[in-house]
Amino acid sequence: MTSDNEEEVKQTKTERFATWLMERQEKKEAKETSLEALMKFNIFLSIGTLVAVAGSTVANYVMMAYTWL
């Protein structure tokens, strides 16, 4: 009977570890998603600044670069 109890304890530890790993992965994916959104917003602001300063020529070059991405 003690071996059964030990197996149950090991299984619960394994389950807890698996749960912790899955939660960690979900948090990591959520963090990456927010970073991607911030990067896109930063690019948008940079393009807006360039267009405001240099005019339509920069806008044309930016559109060409965007199509390459």
pLDDT, tens digit (0-9, with 9 covering 90-100), for 6-62: 555 567 888 888 888 889 888 877 776 777 778 888 888 887 787 777 777 777 777
**Is 60 exceeded by the pLDDT of residue 2?**
no
C-alpha torsion sign, points 24, 30, 34, 35: positive
Which pLDDT value is given to residue 5?
A: 59
Which pLDDT value is given to residue 7?
A: 56
Which pLDDT value is given to residue 4?
A: 54
> Given the structure tokens 């899955």, which residue do they identify?
22
Which pLDDT value is given to residue 8?
A: 58
- Whole-number Cα distances in Å, 32 to 2, 22, 25, 58: 45, 15, 11, 30
With a CB cutoff of 8 Å and minimum separation 6, the contacts of 51 are 58, 59, 62
